[in-house]
């Protein structure tokens, strides 16, 4: 087969099906429709449109509900335009409704990929903006700020910034509102960032939540930039991957975009239906242009199995994809005592992201950030947290592990 193709990998559960026949039905049905009935002359013309079964690997037991196959099908590029809606509708439009089937992975042809510039910044670019190259980054999440006014918001921002965090993200459920409208929010928070920088000497990215009607998102982003914004937060799955792709491809939107996984749980957790987390929150977010990609951590209340987490991370940094990497941001349930685990699991190219683990620090929000920075420094220097906590100047870390404990990898 000499034509360029994108391939889709499915996991298909069925107690009785002939999986080879099923795979052939997919490959033909979702491309040329029928094949064996075609006259030979027509086959010659249609061959370049025909999907092909790449592999069928049957697994699973004899217990009802446990028999499945992983099916890989190649779809000729000539059948779809160079955008994610076209590819997703081709490979998982009608098929998503055809029994117990989950889309596990996609692989893209070089030609398809050529339409995707990917993240503008990626890990290296975000590090460059912050001037931090030698340690994991630290992100702080606004505590619920619905109903707060600008001075209140600014104060919360300032306290987070004082703790030495590298990034602060909006609450993803903070939408355009009269108390803290986008432009004023950006102005107030960036002013607080400058004030904190004067004290800490540290740069900071503020990811302001980009919301509202789809057709206005690009102009809202530019308005935010004109107001001083230096990063965006975006609820990608509420809008579609193509919207992220268009925002990330816009030369005037020249600040990093952090992709929030809101609504992802509608897609990935079922073993039988939906789209796998590594594809949804990893590969597709990155291809569409996320500079930072948030996903559920294996540590907190919003859980994802650790191996799935690591597969999301792997997709975000996989050198095989010829676009910039996306900064992995495992999120939820994170406190300073987990830093050694996070660094063991994700290495140094990770954003440690915390909300309650910063704001809930007994000594206050600024100490919450400091405790994380102390935990990160200790871990990078192979110093155990209890040992680091005992050192002078590390009261913040000591208090944090007194409150939340710590884990030794």
Binding site for a copy of itself (CB under 8 A): 30-34, 45-46, 48-49, 78-81, 83-86, 88-90, 92-98, 100-101, 103, 143-144, 146-147, 172-173, 175-177, 211-215, 218, 235, 238-240, 242-243, 246, 260-267, 269-270, 272-275, 296, 301-302, 304
For the bound state, the minimum distance from the C-beta of residue 88 to a copy of itself, rounded and expressed in Å, comes to 5
Structural contact between residues 205 and 232, judged by C-beta atoms closer than 8 angstroms = no
The smaller minimum CB distance to a copy of itself, of residues 14 and 377, is found at 14
Residue 186 burial (CB < 10 Å; 0-12/13-18/19+)? buried
Helix axes 365-380, 339-346, angle to 10 degrees: 50
Given the complex with a copy of itself, which of 164 and 333 has the nearer CB atom?
333
Nearer to a copy of itself, 264 or 378 (CB): 264
| H helices, E strands: number in the chain | 18, 13
* Alpha carbon distance 199, 283 (integer Å): 39
Q: Which CB, 94 or 194, lies closer to a copy of itself?
A: 94
Q: Which residues sit opposite 111 in a β-bridge?
A: none
Closest CB to a copy of itself among residues 283, 373 = 283
CB of 348 vs a copy of itself, minimal distance in Å: 26
Judge whether 102 counts as a catalytic residue: no
Q: Tell me how far, at minimum, the Cβ of 206 lies from a copy of itself, in Å.
A: 19
User: Considering the complex, what minimum distance in angstroms separates the CB of residue 271 from a copy of itself?
Assistant: 9
Q: For residues 131 and 65, what is the distance between their CA atoms, to the nearest angstrom?
A: 52
Round to whole Å and give the CA distance between 124 and 150: 33
Q: Which residue has the tokens 């192979």?
A: 382
Least CB distance to a copy of itself at residue 105 (A)? 14
The active-site residue out of 21, 94, 216, 391 is 94
- One-character DSSP codes across 51-118: -EEEEEEEE--SSTT--EEEEEEEEEGGGS-SSHHHHHHHHHSSGGGSSEEEEEEEE--HHHHTT---
3-state SS, one letter per residue, for 216-248: HHHHHHHHHHHCCCCEEEEEHHHHCHHHHHHHH
Residue 319 DSSP SS3: coil
Instruction: Output 216 or 391, the one with its CB closest to a copy of itself.
Output: 216
Given its phi and psi angles, is residue 149 left (phi above 0), alpha (psi -120 to 50 degrees) or beta? beta
* Tokens (6 digits) for 94: 């009608």
Of 24 and 126, nearer to a copy of itself (C-beta) is 24
User: Least CB distance from residue 368 to a copy of itself, whole Å?
Assistant: 16
Asked if 290 and 248 touch (Cβ cutoff 8 Å), the reply is yes
In this structure, what DSSP letter does residue 328 have? Answer: E
Instruction: Report, in Å, the least distance between residue 355 CB and a copy of itself.
Output: 9
Give me the torsion for CA of 33, 39, 44, 48, rounded to 10°.
0
Active-site amino acid positions: 94
């Amino acid at each position: 087969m000499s034509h360029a193709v994108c391939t889709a990998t499915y996991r298909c559960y069925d107690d009785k099906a002939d999986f080879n026949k099923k795979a052939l039905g997919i490959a033909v049905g979702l491309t040329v429709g029928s094949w064996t009935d075609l006259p030979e002359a027509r086959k010659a013309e249609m061959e370049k449109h025909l999907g092909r079964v790449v592999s069928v690997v049957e697994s699973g037991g004899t217990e009802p509900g446990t028999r499945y196959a992983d099916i890989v099908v190649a779809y000729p590029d000539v059948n779809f335009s160079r955008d994610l809606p076209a590819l997703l509708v081709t490979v998982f439009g009608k098929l998503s409704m055809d029994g117990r089937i989950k889309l596990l992975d996609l692989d893209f042809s070089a030609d398809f990929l050529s339409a995707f510039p990917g993240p503008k910044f990626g890990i290296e670019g975000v590090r460059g903006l912050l001037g931090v190259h030698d340690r994991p980054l630290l992100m702080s999440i606004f505590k619920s700020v619905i109903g707060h006014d600008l001075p209140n918001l600014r104060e919360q921002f300032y306290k987070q910034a004082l703790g030495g965090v590298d990034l602060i993200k909006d609450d993803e459920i903070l939408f355009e509102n009269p108390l803290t409208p986008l432009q004023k929010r950006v102005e107030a928070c960036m002013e607080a960032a400058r004030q904190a920088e004067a004290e800490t000497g540290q740069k900071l990215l503020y990811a302001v939540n980009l919301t509202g009607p789809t057709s206005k998102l690009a102009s809202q982003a530019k308005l935010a930039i004109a107001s001083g914004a230096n990063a965006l937060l975006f609820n990608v799955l509420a809008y579609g991957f193509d919207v992220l792709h268009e925002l990330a491809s816009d030369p005037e939107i020249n600040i990093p975009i952090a992709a929030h996984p809101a609504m992802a749980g509608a897609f990935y957790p079922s073993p039988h239906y939906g789209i796998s987390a590594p594809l949804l929150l990893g590969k597709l977010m990155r291809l569409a242009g996320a500079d930072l990609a948030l996903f559920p951590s294996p540590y907190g209340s919003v859980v994802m199995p650790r191996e799935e987490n690591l597969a999301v991370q792997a997709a975000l940094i996989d050198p095989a994809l010829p676009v910039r990497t996306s900064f992995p941001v495992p999120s939820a349930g994170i406190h300073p005592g987990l830093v050694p685990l996070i660094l063991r699991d994700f290495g140094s190219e990770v954003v440690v992201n915390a909300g309650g683990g910063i704001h809930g620090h007994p000594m206050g929000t600024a100490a919450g950030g400091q405790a994380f920075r102390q935990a990160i420094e200790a871990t990078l220097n192979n110093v155990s947290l209890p040992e680091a906590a005992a050192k002078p100047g590390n009261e913040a870390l000591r208090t944090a592990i007194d409150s939340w404990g710590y884990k030794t990898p």
